[in-house]
Structure 1
Amino acid sequence: MNYKDADPEGSVCSQPTASQTGENFHQKKVTFARSKHVTKCSNCQLQDVQLKKMAEQIQNIEEQLISFQKQIDEKNQQNKKQKQKQEELLIELQIISEKHHQELINNGILQKQNIELRKEILKLEQDISKVECQNQEPLKRTSEQKFIESLIQMFMSFHQKVQFPTKPQLKQVWKWLKQIVSEYAILKQKELLLHK
């Protein structure tokens, strides 16, 4: 068998017999080739339909992937914005806490200074009272001093000397005087109510 005996579609033919010579043989070859070609085309059409379906599916999948990618990008942007807001809030919180901490420190310092100042004032008051006691020279008495002395004498005359062997403080005298005035005011109101 030589290459001339080969079918153009790729099939191998046997040696032509007497009935297959001439036009008859040629027609059979063409008919065989056409039938074979038609079978291939129907397969090709099925494959084309399948390929089209697959292409559509791939296109749908690509579209879905693109939309998913867009959603992911949007979420990433939202996350970035939220992170930025969180960082800004954290910075603000840190600034506020630092200010508060500084204020607490300043308040502590002020409280210490206040306590020290009170101690110094008490010391000064004690020193003044000592100086007044030590200073026995007669000074010119002002009207205020005379008034205070007369109040103290009145207080001492109303109370026994046993209760106050030494000179009472002005604070005690003032408290006593306020009490007397308030009691007097109560009695006066009662009197007014009785007369009505």
Structure 2
Amino acid sequence: MNRQTNQLSQNSSTQLYYSQYLKQQQVSPIAERFVADEVQELRKQIEQLTKQLEFKEQMISEMRAHQKILMNRSSEPTHQQKDILVEKIKEFEMRLKEKEAQFQNQLIENSLLVKENQSLKQEIIRLESLIKDPSIPKFVNSIVDLVRQCHPQNHFPNSKPELRECWRWLKKILNDYIQIKQRMH
């Protein structure tokens, strides 16, 4: 019970620290939820893997205790009994190695997910900083105004043309210009 309380307080303090960090970095609530959800999911996976490891270690200790009991029961095991025990031990060691390899692979995958999550977070921060750049909206607005001024007054159903329409118009103008330049040369 104490361990669960410790984990809950650790999780809540970690989440509080992380949310404060994200606020300092001026990350949007969407990115905060994305990162917190990913971190929470990774914590759950690590907790599950830790429980599996503890269970397997308990199984190992029980099997060793059982092995000692069996060894103590028969004072002088026969050759056949020794061979059977050796075979069982080898089989158990092989299964143990397989489980260790699986655990290591899961740990590596989780580490890669954490690294990928960090790179995604950095990319989100970079994109948000680009969006917050004040020159981008000014540039877009000036292009939209240029397109609107070059067309008749009621040409666009809305008061402003859409960005897609502006882009098409600019491409057409540039293509025409390039063709005229090529004809002159």
**What's the TM-score once normalised by structure 1's chain length?**
0.30
Which entry has the higher C-alpha Rg, 1 or 2? 1
Which one scores higher on RCO, CA 8 angstroms, separation ≥ 6?
2
Name the structure with the higher helix share: 2
TM-score by length of 2: 0.32
